[in-house]
Chains A and B, each alone.
Chain A
Amino acid sequence: MRELLLCPPDHYGIEYEINPWMSRARGAEAALAQKQWKDLHATLSKLDCKIELITPQPKLPDMVFTANAGLAVGKKFIPSNFRHKERADEAPHFAHWMEEHGYQVARLPNDYYFEGEGDALFAGDALFCGYKFRSDIKSHRAVAEMLGCLVISVELVDPRFYHLDTCFCPLPDGAAVWFPAAFDEYGQRAIREHMKELVDVVPEEAMHFSCNAIVLERDIVLPEGAPKLVTRLRDRGYRCHELPMTEFLKAGGACKCLTMFMPQRDSAME
């Protein structure tokens, strides 16, 4: 059974603008956001996930995006060092919660930006890490040292896809779903060289954050709006659970951003 950390969207809203999706003028509808989050919670519960909830904190609207809490591997938890001061205060809450739940917290130096599972996803024997908009590449090196694993650092070039989990989603069969244009040519090459197979997402579906999916063995929970991808995933034998995520997309997040695996892997080496 997979264990996931979620945070109820009680204080969620568009209160600042730190990515191209966010617009305070447009805002998110609170009641609808609550409904979409509850649907996600219900879907994950039905899929036999153990869900832990962290208490949401006022004035930290993005705390709902628990993927950015940090990275959990085995019983080790590397908390995020957020690039934007708007999110920086989330970090101690997450670290404290994880510590209370038996995780050994391993901190990065303060001046290394790292935004957790949002920018760090295991695939095969490597941890793929995105850099530039949020995490910096220095943090990748430190994470690699802490975990003793191979880290493939890939540069993100499209500010709309500012975290790795918005454009790259590894699958248990050794393939990965991705939106290639979100990476620079070296990042694309590095991913191609290390992945057995890649499933390209077309731009219009990528814009619905269809890469921002939660993969639970044969079940994939992803935002609505990606019929082509869903067909391809079904052809590969996956069950797809499409959920409306409109209110979270307004903040540049979707299914995967709203969850963190505890842990993502039992060990850094597969």
Chain B
Amino acid sequence: MFSETIELRGHIIDSLILPKVLDEILRAGGNFKIREIKIGERRADQSYARIEVSGPTHETLDELVLRLRQHGAEITEKVDVQLAPAPADGVFPADFYVTTNQQTFITLDGKEIEVHPAIMDSGITVDREAGRATAVKFYEVRKGMKIVAGHQGIRVAPIQRSTARTDVFEFMSNVSVEQPKSAMIREMAREFKRTRDGKGKILVVAGPAVVHTGAAEHLEGLIQWGYVDLLFAGNALAVHDIENALFGTSLGVNLGRADLADQGHENHMRAINAIREAGGIARAVETGLLQRGIMCSCVRHGVEFVLAGSIRDDGPLPDVITDAIEAQKAMREKISGVSIALMMGTMLHSMAVENLLPASVKTVCVDINADVVNRLTDRGTFQTVGLVTDIEAFLRELTDCLSNLDGATTSERRQK
């Protein structure tokens, strides 16, 4: 959304100029925020209103503001951002502006520029000649880089909640075990289908619980049907998925029979070893060592994945990025274009990903633990749906809904 701040002065209440201006903004598809209002006390006193007007494009906003000027609206002068040089590599100037995950604009030489990407907990660097503003992380800061300081000249355009119920992401963001889950999952499935058939990308962030609960086959289904564009996970998801593919167990438990396999605790170590020996997951698929499972499906269907390591990892698998900064960079590079993020059974990974996502991305958080879902949904994204439920039950229902939506095509695909 692009915006201008206008001022109205005069007998704007008695003349109904204020309601007229506000109505005109809404009629033009714009939005407003009354930043300041002073109502005259005596009859002859004039009133004052400062209103931030926003519109979907520069053109609609310009046309709108032009019309509002007829009713006496005056545009307030825009103040430029303040810039300060970075004192050293990896260090922001003292008063640096810290970004949110909302769409952000800065005013530079009187003009508004959008900051890209919309990512939280970053600074903003400015390239005056190119008219570009970029959100940067510590490791990207170079000595002398011009960094936005203070709060002047910065405008954050929060995602507007529409009053009309448009989709599940806008009307069901509260977290409770007492939710009409089937109805919500049906709505979600429609959104997934719209995204798959349209322009957006679907990101899945998954913990090993997906495998432990026996839901791997459902996730494989999603991958096969084209519902996953990107997978972010840790070492464990891949390890247990491969353990399951090679030995039929997850953490030593026979997934088919729900009992402990003999010497099953060794299986995940043997799985890691096999992949290390093969030279990585893709290689293991190529050689025929790995013939099923989530990771195998990713390789076969060209779904990119980033496996980020952690301090407690066994192995890890050769595909795992063990440098946290490098892993973050890899995720940032791939995240552009994502419009739905499905996060299941992993709190820390999900948080890390949420820190990278713009607020406009619709997110679904699924966990059996209500605290985890609460922590994830309460992070400032407006379009988050949290579901407190078992992952296997959730994925089974989601895949059923998608297969119903897709009809015969999906059923056929599923049999492949």
Q: Give chain A's interface residues, CB within 8 Å of chain B.
A: 125-126, 131-132, 136-138, 140-141, 144-145, 148-155, 184, 186-187, 189-190, 193-194, 269
Contacts and interface: CB of A to CB of B under 8 A. Distances in A.
B9 A150 contact: no
Given A131-B70, A186-B20, 12 more contacts: A136-B70, A137-B17, A141-B9, A144-B46, A150-B11, A150-B43, A151-B11, A153-B15, A153-B17, A184-B20, A186-B15, A190-B14
A140 B14 CA distance: 13
B66 to A, nearest CB: 13
Closest 5 interchain pairs by CB? A141-B10, A137-B72, A186-B16, A153-B15, A186-B20
Nearest to B10: A141
Contacts of A144: 10-11, 44, 46
B71 interface: yes
A190 B15 contact: yes
Interface string B1-14: 00000000111001
A125 B44 CA distance: 9
B380 interface: no
Nearest to B14: A152
B71 A137 contact: yes
B19 interface: yes
Given A137-B17, A189-B16, A155 B71 contact: yes
A156 to B, nearest CB: 11
Interface of B: 9-11, 14-17, 19-20, 43-44, 46, 70-72
B20 A152 contact: no
Contact of B44 (A149, A153, A155, A193): A149
11 contacts: A137-B72, A141-B9, A144-B46, A148-B44, A152-B11, A152-B15, A153-B10, A153-B11, A153-B72, A186-B16, A193-B14
Nearest to A184: B20
A252 to B, nearest CB: 21
Contacts of B19: 186
B120 to A, nearest CB: 42
A190 B44 contact: no
Contacts of A193: 14
B92 to A, nearest CB: 44
Nearest to A132: B70
B14 to A, nearest CB: 6
A154 B46 CA distance: 16
B49 to A, nearest CB: 13
A236 B19 CA distance: 35
Contacts of A138: 72
A50 B114 CA distance: 66
A132 B70 CA distance: 7
A150 B20 CA distance: 18
Contacts of B43: 125, 150
A194 B9 contact: no
A194 to B, nearest CB: 7
B411 to A, nearest CB: 57
A137 B12 CA distance: 10
Contact of A186 (B10, B11, B17): B17
A150 B42 CA distance: 9
Residue among B14, B16, B20 with the highest chain A CB neighbour number at 10 A? B16
Contacts of A187: 16
A140 B19 CA distance: 18
A144 B305 CA distance: 67
A187 B70 CA distance: 14
Given A141-B46, A144-B46, A148-B44, A126 B70 contact: no
A151 B45 CA distance: 10
A155 B68 CA distance: 12
A131 B370 CA distance: 60
Contacts of A189: 16
Nearest to B12: A153
A153 B72 CA distance: 10
Contacts of B70: 131-132, 136-137
Contacts of B46: 141, 144-145
A140 B10 contact: yes
Contacts of A125: 43
Contact of A141 (B16, B20, B44, B72): B72
A190 B70 CA distance: 17
B393 to A, nearest CB: 55
A191 to B, nearest CB: 10
A152 B11 CA distance: 7
B317 to A, nearest CB: 68
Contacts of A145: 46
Contacts of A150: 11, 14, 43-44
Nearest to A147: B44
A73 B44 CA distance: 16
Contacts of B15: 151-154, 186, 190
A123 to B, nearest CB: 13
Residue among B11, B14, B15, B16 with the highest chain A CB neighbour number at 10 A? B15
